[in-house]
Amino acid sequence: MKRLLISGLAALLAACAVGPNYKRPEIKAPAAFRSQPAQPDAKSLADLAWWELYRDPVLEKLIKTALQQNYDVKIALARVEEFRAAAGIAGFGSIPQVSAGASGSRSRISTVGPTPLPSSAKPVRTTYNAEVDISYEIDLWGRIASVQAAARADLLASEFARDTIRVAV
């Protein structure tokens, strides 16, 4: 029985053995790629906005004015900010919540009545109370992660809607 226990323990420890440390192989990257532009600062045709192709200052001014003063674009920008704030608030579910409170009270007991206070008792009583609460929700079922993922998806959807409105304008 003792041999069986020792051999079982040895097999268990051998199963936990870790191999040698991993070393990343060296990869020689080429200095330049075939599709890489010659000048990194030069704008390609795909990087230009469609109205920049015409090189018309009047058209560019009209488009700039339309994008700055259009109410649909302003509403879309406000929605993006709203969903960005909601995504930030959704992230608070994964951190501990801390709350604190304090209170004080002062009371006086009447010295007149059927049962008078003993002379050693003080008729005025002051009470102070302080409390600190710390809570943390363990995300066993993925509720907090799902709320955060939904908030990020709403943010992305509002950004895409903003871009769609800008293109439509």
As a whole number of angstroms, the distance between CA 163 and CA 77 comes to: 10
- For residue 134, name the pLDDT band (cuts at 50, 70, 90): very high
Q: Provide mean pLDDT across the span 71-93.
A: 93
Q: What is the pLDDT of residues 6-17, one digit of tens each?
A: 888 777 766 665
Asked if residue 5 has pLDDT above 90, the reply is no
As a whole number of angstroms, the distance between CA 148 and CA 168 comes to: 30
Q: What is the pLDDT of residues 17-47, one digit of tens each?
A: 556 777 888 888 877 777 766 665 666 777 7
Asked if residue 144 has pLDDT above 80, the reply is yes
State the pTM of this model: 0.54
pLDDT at 9 (0 to 100) = 78
The token pair at 82 is 């709203």
As a whole number of angstroms, the distance between CA 155 and CA 146 comes to: 14
